[in-house]
Chain A
Amino acid sequence: MNLSMKWINDYVDLKNINIKQFCHEMTMSGSKVEGYETEGSEISNVVIGKLLSVVPHENSDHLVVCQVEVGKDAPIQIVTGAPNVKAGDVVPVALDGSTLPGGVKIKKGKLRGVESNGMLCSLGELGLTVHDFPYAIEDGIFIIEEDCSIGEDIHEALGLNDTSVEFEITSNRPDCLSVTGLAREASATFDLPLNIPVPSFKGVDGDINEILKVDIKNTESCKRYCAGIVKNVKIEPSPRWMRERLRASGIRPINNFVDITNYVMLEYGQPMHAFDLRYVKDSHINVRNAVNGEKITTLDGIERELSDEMLVIADSEKPVAVAGVMGGEYSGIMDDTTTVVFESAYFEPVQVRRTSKKLGLRSDASARYEKGVDTLISMTCLNRAFELVEMLGAGEVVKTVIDKDFTDKNLKTVEFSADWINNFLGTDIPESDMIKYLNSLGFSVENGKVISPSFRIDIEYKADIAEEVARIYGYNNIPSTPFKGVAEAEYTPEQKFTRTIENTMTALGCYEISTFSFISPKYFDKINLSADSKLRKTETIINPLGEDTSVMRTTIIPSMLEILSKNYNNRNSEVKLFELGKEYLPTDPDKLPEEPLRLAVGMYGGNIDFYDIKGIADALLKTVRIYDCDYVRTSDSDAFDEASAFHPGRSAVILKNGKAIGILGEIHPDVAENYGIEVKVYAAKLNVPEMLELSEKEITYKPMPKFPATTRDLSLICDDNLPAASIEKAIKKAAGKVLEKVTLFDVYKGKQIEEGKKSISYSISMRSHDGTLTDEQADSIMNKVLKALKDIGADLRM
């Protein structure tokens, strides 16, 4: 909403308040100012001049030399190329050293050897259009027909001295989408009197019912319809003051009738509609629902198909307007219009909103209707329109009008209690002050009740009244109390667990990333996910911004790979990342998905291999007290469909007590290629809820050993494909409870080792809690171990 400061001063005298203060105080009382602009602020040193003579330029065919009277001792000489000037014309003159819109500076100089001491201006050079001065032309000097004096400053002469203030009006306050509404707010804010005159018109004799018939077929959607007739109209530009105010309000002047409807809408917030009676067939207006498939070409020249939930203003045959949204092109005011119908109506907000949304058509009218206009103001506004018609001499208003009224005249009331309000706000505002604030906003207070004015559609609860009081009292005058009361608060076990993971991952050298949780369905192909994978079943956004962000991810792996790929492209050579993010796993249709938390890890560069990412997983699992996990080949587990993204021989699923808690390994070279990464990439995904469940909650101290450990080293020869885990398992089983630790310290293939075999060496630590192990005891255990190893094909290396 753009407000003309000249206009608002008609209703509340703000002349003693400077514009900055006005904007600030209005913002602080709830009408937020986005900015303001003083018209013609870029124009300086431009005055009214009169051309005394116009003679051809001696060195040019298209230039002329003018002597211009500008209210100084002597006329000045200006050279111009414009063809439309002659002696006697009154024109805008930019003097030497003047400025014009767009940062243009005018300086005296010579044009083809002839001195020129300024410039004659066109409309465009002053930032104006023919809509502002309809008698002028676009291309040529602006020949001024205004009542002005020679030498007068252009701002005063053309009325370029208004200030336009841009307000951001919240959706609950459609009443402030009007000059009178903002005047009321200003009056309350600055504690100044408000004076909004009641409009009235004289009219000419005549019975409206003989000229026009109105039927309301849907009184739920159209609660009031006021209409009147103006005869013998004279379509012409409206007067300058009206054009100026419209311009300052951001509305283009068209002609007197259209301008009047806009003027009243801006003034009162009530959309008005004017149309040509000629095109209302049978002079019969029907406010009814549209028929499915019915068509109308709206004022913007677009043909629109209507449906039966939309409300139209129709004649006896066809729609002439979409109610509350836009008039029809066909019935609009034209230069040869002779009889005009004015409509001022109340349409239900939801009705207009749905229609406007469905048609994809918004207008100044629909913006107001859909939020809710004053239910009782229709007739006042019709009167105001007719008052203006008479003021402008635009036609003869028929004295009698039509008023179909189905509105509820009861005003809303809310309980008023100053104590309650003070207790709610934490203030100590006297009741009399509260009543004063409320009165200034149009509320009345009687018998413990606040009666809400009809334009305040947002008032319903005591809290609403408290807000009215608070904003005029000033939010910043409300004291701040230190928050009282004690409450116990701590992180939940889940939150603590997550914090531990975060801290561990950074300690392990990984940087945290934050990614979008919606991805492209193409990402599933990028990780080679099988066509029938359950992960392809996603929560899909109906109205995405684009395919890239159209499905909620069911796996966090692609998000990590995308970021690794970006880093690779940005030439970051060594990267270790992690993310704690959700996956969104669909459940039943029409039910919400599960949103389990996942840890993703990803890394490349710097001589890393499978055992680095496994080392990270091991360290994390140890930190969160998940011990003794098993690693199985991804081909031996169907827990993770993302296995497709991994190198089959260099990836593993992590099992704890048989339950899969994660997957990790080298990314499949094909997948890495899909992401444009030309080095080995490693990734892991761990399921946080499962980890939390399996993490040991109780920590029990075990006494430190009293007796020394006995250590024996073993070097074994076995088939290359015998997993180390099997060897360790055999050692553990055979050694029994004295076994303290098995540590792998070497794996060797190559010289001196037969093809297809490997040498694998362990250090075995044994310890008894009952005494120092003797050599004999240790040897006997080692013999058992060696026998067990032989059984699985691992022999002592000689």
Chain B
Amino acid sequence: MKQQLENIENAAMAEASSSDSIKSLDELRIKYLGKKGELTAILKQMGKLSAEERPIIGQLANKVRQDIEEAITGKMSALKAKEKERKMSAESIDITLPGKKQSIGKLHALKIVENEIKEIFLGMGFSVADGPEVEYDYYNFEALNLPPDHPARDTQDTFYITDNILLRTQTSSVQVHVMENQKPPIRIISPGCVYRSDAVDATHSPLFHQIEGLVVDKGITMSDLKGTLETLMKKLYGNDCKIRLRPHHFPFTEPSAEVDVMCFNCHGEGCRICKGEGYIELLGAGMVHPKVLEGCGIDSSVYSGFAFGMGLERIVMRRFNISDMRLLFENDLRFLEQF
């Protein structure tokens, strides 16, 4: 009987190892281990054995069953792995074919940069204020220390709706609204459209965008203005960005400055883009004129402040290397897709 068991084991092992399909292994399992299988048939004869032989043969039979089972299971998993591999390989596709088209749009270049600047200022504690584009002369000029007949009005060719109502030429008008409605401390920026009577060309547009900034509080200094603008420029153009302030004149700030940023192309060496200057004019700024503060009911002997204004188009064009402002307003899809 022992010999029989050993024969069965050897035969089963040989068959298992030569089996090449899951189906034949399943048959093998039935043939040897099934209820009517060969091993079972042998075990049915156990009763004929002596009490001494029975445990020995029983042990052997169990070992044989275990061995056969292991061999079949082992072979089975090897075959399954092979089968899976074959299937995977058959399912392989050309991953270089283009992806299926999903509909996704993009924000306008102007909005991308505007949002970026807004986020920078929000991080510095500036709120975002809004103001009317169709505006009273008072807010656009008079309250900003530009009375009628002021020569600086000439430099801002203005569109008028009536003698007293105009299209704002600068977002600085929002300064006045904010100061009239809010007591210091004030810390705002105000992005928006402004209008000047300039014919359309590569660098001019009768409608363009500005971002105005205003801070009013006790003890605000010109060095705070410099620090704020430096932070802005570093966040916009990178940590090695340098700015430079030049004295200038704006009726609503005193002292006033034009702020240049180091040329991104030549890093201050002077090149074609900066016309040899090494710096590019980027924005106007200054300490809020005492007359403007007083006009808005803010005591200039207690409070001081600074303001700045920058042209968004100029920043956007520089950022994306756009040479013609008209592209921004033509809105050709092939342009819009690029940002």
Chain A interfacial positions (CB closer than 8 Å to B): 27-30, 32, 170-173, 349-350, 353-354, 370-371, 423-427, 461-464, 466-467, 470-471, 475-476, 478-492, 494-495, 499, 502, 505-518, 539-545, 549, 552, 563, 566-567, 570, 572, 575-578, 582, 584, 590, 592-593, 595
Bound-state CA distance A542–B195 (Å) is 14
Within 8 Å by CB of B206, from A173, A353, A549, lies: A549
Within 8 Å by CB of B207, from A423, A517, A540, A592, lies: A517
CB B231 to nearest CB in A, in angstroms, measures: 7
Q: Which residues of A contact B255 (CB under 8 A)?
A: 425, 463, 466-467, 470-471, 475
Task: Check A480–B105 contact: CB distance below 8 A.
Answer: no
Q: Which residues of A contact B254 (CB under 8 A)?
A: 461, 463-464, 466-467
Task: Check B247–A513 contact: CB distance below 8 A.
Answer: no
Tell me if B330 is interfacial: C-beta within 8 Å of chain A. yes
Q: Which residues of A contact B127 (CB under 8 A)?
A: 489-490, 492
Closest to A513 in B: B331
Task: Check B134–A171 contact: CB distance below 8 A.
Answer: no
Task: Check B221–A426 contact: CB distance below 8 A.
Answer: yes
Tell me if B328 is interfacial: C-beta within 8 Å of chain A. yes
Task: Report, as a range, how many residues of chain B touch the other chain.
Answer: 35 or more
Task: Check B336–A513 contact: CB distance below 8 A.
Answer: yes
Task: Check B334–A572 contact: CB distance below 8 A.
Answer: yes
Q: List 7 A-B contacts (CB under 8 A).
A: A350-B149, A476-B244, A478-B226, A483-B231, A508-B103, A509-B102, A541-B167
Task: Check B107–A512 contact: CB distance below 8 A.
Answer: yes
Q: Which residues of A contact B121 (CB under 8 A)?
A: 489
* Known contacts A491-B128, A506-B107; A566/B223 CB under 8 A: no
Tell me if B309 is interfacial: C-beta within 8 Å of chain A. no
Bound-state CA distance A566–B333 (Å) is 10
Task: Check B329–A515 contact: CB distance below 8 A.
Answer: yes
Tell me if B165 is interfacial: C-beta within 8 Å of chain A. yes
Task: Check B287–A424 contact: CB distance below 8 A.
Answer: yes
CB A576 to nearest CB in B, in angstroms, measures: 7
Which of B19-27, B53-61, B154-162 binds A? B154-162
* Known contacts A480-B230, A483-B228, A544-B159; A513/B134 CB under 8 A: no
Q: Which residues of A contact B103 (CB under 8 A)?
A: 508-509, 576
Q: Which residues of A contact B222 (CB under 8 A)?
A: 424-427, 470, 478
Residue interface mask B163-205, A partner, CB < 8 A = 1: 0110100000000000000000101000001010101000000
Bound-state CA distance A563–B217 (Å) is 45
Bound-state CA distance A27–B206 (Å) is 29
Chain B interfacial positions (CB closer than 8 Å to A): 102-108, 110-111, 115, 121-122, 124-128, 130, 132-136, 149-152, 154-155, 159-162, 164-165, 167, 185, 187, 193, 195, 197, 199, 206-207, 217, 219, 221-224, 226-228, 230-231, 244-249, 251, 254-257, 287, 289-291, 304, 328-334, 336-337
Bound-state CA distance A426–B333 (Å) is 49
Task: Check A30–B248 contact: CB distance below 8 A.
Answer: yes
Between A and B, how many residue pairs show CB distances below 8 Å? 232
Which one of A354, A490, A505, A539 has the highest number of Cβ atoms from chain B below 10 Å of its Cβ?
A539
Q: Which residues of B contact A354 (CB under 8 A)?
A: 149
Closest to B149 in A: A350
| Additional A-B contacts beyond A461-B254, A517-B207, A563-B331 (18; CB < 8 A) | A30-B246, A32-B246, A170-B248, A172-B152, A426-B224, A461-B290, A461-B291, A463-B255, A475-B246, A476-B244, A478-B245, A485-B217, A509-B104, A509-B105, A512-B111, A514-B328, A582-B133, A590-B164
* Known contacts A516-B329, A542-B161, A584-B133; A480/B223 CB under 8 A: yes
CB B281 to nearest CB in A, in angstroms, measures: 10
Task: Check B105–A508 contact: CB distance below 8 A.
Answer: yes
* Known contacts A32-B248, A170-B248, A172-B249; A353/B149 CB under 8 A: yes
* Known contacts A28-B246, A424-B287, A512-B111; A595/B162 CB under 8 A: no
Task: Check B122–A491 contact: CB distance below 8 A.
Answer: yes
CB B140 to nearest CB in A, in angstroms, measures: 12
Q: Which residues of A contact B245 (CB under 8 A)?
A: 475-476, 478
Q: Tell me whether chain A's interface is mostly helix, strand or loop, or mixed.
A: loop
Task: Check B193–A517 contact: CB distance below 8 A.
Answer: yes
CB B232 to nearest CB in A, in angstroms, measures: 10
CB B88 to nearest CB in A, in angstroms, measures: 35
Task: Check B136–A592 contact: CB distance below 8 A.
Answer: yes
Q: Which residues of B contact A517 (CB under 8 A)?
A: 133, 193, 207
Bound-state CA distance A590–B134 (Å) is 11
Task: Check A487–B126 contact: CB distance below 8 A.
Answer: yes
Task: Check A27–B246 contact: CB distance below 8 A.
Answer: yes
Q: Which residues of A contact B249 (CB under 8 A)?
A: 170-173
Closest to B147 in A: A350
Within 8 Å by CB of A541, from B154, B160, B219, lies: B160
Task: Check A516–B134 contact: CB distance below 8 A.
Answer: no
Task: Check A545–B151 contact: CB distance below 8 A.
Answer: no
Bound-state CA distance A593–B165 (Å) is 10
Task: Check A475–B187 contact: CB distance below 8 A.
Answer: no
Task: Check B134–A584 contact: CB distance below 8 A.
Answer: yes
